[in-house]
A = this chain, B = another copy of it.
Amino acid sequence: MPHHLMPMLSQIDLQHGTIKDAAEVIVRRLSDMQGHYQDQNAVRDLLQEDPILYRVYLTTPPDHEYQWRTAMSVIEPGKVGAEYYMTKGHFHKDQQAPEVYLTLLGKGQIVMQTHDGQTETQPMLPGAVNYIPGGWAHRTINTGDSPLAFFAVWPADAGHDYAGVADRGFPLLVLEENGQPVVVPNPHYEGS
């Protein structure tokens, strides 16, 4: 009889976007990503309290590399200077590996870039399905005043390349201007 992976079941708390039985919770504080923000004076001030910017609730990994991972990410509302709380952002090492987001709570933006500098932004609102094809780095940004919570699916063997983003930044920033989110070019982006 062939070996079959067993089906799995997880439960998202739809009021908070969390997963109570998460296999792992990744917690990112400002100190984990201070270099990602433009306003280093604001970073220094905020580091005293070192706020949690987001949490990722990972479900149990299937015991096979060709399967998929699922998670809920919850980005807190807040800003570092004029920039909103956001995720680090990453490329997949496997340039074919896609990722799908389904937003459940809150309001935000996803910013995507390719290695050769193409960019794309999409809104994130409850019910929005963002399809991120292989080859696009992706960062999510909470532009609202409540948590931004979204479900994600990606291949377990996709691999994460954070350095490609940390070294060069994203070509686009999402800032608050006059109380509204605006997308602007990143003056410090290290183009290829």
Contacts and interface: CB of A to CB of B under 8 A. Distances in A.
Interface of A: 1-2, 4-14, 59, 62, 64, 66-68, 70, 96, 98, 100, 102, 112, 114, 116, 118, 120, 122-123, 125-136, 151, 153
A4 B136 contact: yes
Given A4-B136, A116-B2, A118-B4, A70 B129 contact: yes
B127 A11 contact: yes
A129 B62 contact: no
B62 A98 contact: yes
Contacts of A100: 68, 70, 153
A156 B66 CA distance: 15
A135 B64 CA distance: 13
A2 to B, nearest CB: 7
Name, among A66, A125, A127, the residue most crowded by chain B CB atoms within 10 Å (CB to CB): A127
B7 A67 contact: no
A131 B7 contact: yes
B7 A66 contact: no
